[in-house]
A and B are shown apart, each in its own frame.
Chain A
């Protein structure tokens, strides 16, 4: 397989998974948007919970990480995936080892960090 065919099939997989995630969130899945992971302990706690989950348990991953379809706002700041240091903008993918999920740039979760 060439690099470009690997990328094409990866993009197709990502797209279908992203559609599933979007559908879950649009259908009103309630996620733990707050409290945000603003302290080191909170981050560790959420990450530990994510580590307990089966890789395929998308619903629980979304809930635990507190996903939203729009950026979370805090004072003047906008916490969108696209500015998060775990986000790959071109692949539209969250590289946080405990998530590893395709996400839209305007989505957000409470593990956001810049």
Chain B
């Protein structure tokens, strides 16, 4: 039996909503099949008021063993570093987060806010928010770059806005069943099993990407969303087109550009007007190129592919 505690900082509850929709395995499966004991969760916890406060204190003192501490949302530091803007169970949430992280065997950050600050930490970051071990790309965050949970691992980051439900439950099963040490993680502490491939991996528009046929409207079935509509699929690490959403589809399959929400810089360009859903270019060439491709290579590849594209690539091949 592994005790799990889930708290929420500066957040919209999107990751909780996502988690409750998990299917493989579901939130119930965690309890019935994988031996996870949910001590408390903002939407599921039974304890209130003094009882909850006592439970948190018991976790910190060790009279309740805390195996997995899950945090959703940013650590709010405002005003003036006090964290008073986000109080919970009688004190600033950040104080609970520090003490609980120090006693937990494993700490898991769920969603962009908890991993790197996400939308709340977008400039000018009025709530002085940060992620558990990162602030955007900068290693450190609230717990500091040297932080290691009791079993010797740094915070395990499961980003996304929100994270896909099955990324959350599958990682929780892995850590609850003693496999945390087997998880290979990348430089941003994301499990590689989910975050090594790209959003583009498995996208149904790949052939239009290859032949440089552009979609010019949302929802259009023909065309790739990279060239005009700002799709970040070729440079975003996520399995959105391998582990489908609702087991059905993905943003890009449905004609909506990938926003790059699993990357530390999300939301990109600080949401400046004209930067969302629009490919940013410099002298006619996209500012952000597919991972590993340089400008010269991109121009050569694109020109060659465009001129070699077959006629069918320009037509809508999806007839109803």
Chain A residues in contact with chain B, CB under 8 A?
A: 36-40, 43-44, 74, 77, 79, 82-83, 85-91, 95-97, 112-114
Residue from the set B279, B311, B314 with the largest chain A CB neighbour count within 10 Å: B314
A75–B131 Cα gap in the complex (Å)?
Answer: 44
* B174 in contact (CB, < 8 A): no
User: Do residues A86 and B214 form an inter-chain contact, with CB atoms below 8 A?
Assistant: yes
A25–B283 Cα gap in the complex (Å)?
Answer: 24
Nearest A residue to B314, CB-CB: A88
Contact with A along B31-66 (1 / 0, CB 8 A): 000000000000000000000000000000000000
CB<8 Å pairs between A and B, sample of 5: A83-B307, A97-B216, A113-B281, A113-B284, A114-B303
Say yes or no: A38-B214 contact (C-beta < 8 A), given A83-B302, A114-B303: no
A39–B283 Cα gap in the complex (Å)?
Answer: 7
User: Do residues B314 and A91 form an inter-chain contact, with CB atoms below 8 A?
Assistant: yes
Nearest A residue to B306, CB-CB: A83
Nearest A residue to B224, CB-CB: A85
A90–B307 Cα gap in the complex (Å)?
Answer: 9
User: Do residues B214 and A85 form an inter-chain contact, with CB atoms below 8 A?
Assistant: yes
Least distance between B205 CB and chain A CB atoms (Å): 14
Least distance between A47 CB and chain B CB atoms (Å): 11
Nearest A residue to B228, CB-CB: A85
Least distance between A80 CB and chain B CB atoms (Å): 9
User: Do residues B284 and A44 form an inter-chain contact, with CB atoms below 8 A?
Assistant: no
Contacts of B212 in A (CB 8 A): 85
Residue from the set A36, A74, A83, A85 with the largest chain B CB neighbour count within 10 Å: A85
Nearest A residue to B278, CB-CB: A40
User: Do residues B283 and A87 form an inter-chain contact, with CB atoms below 8 A?
Assistant: no
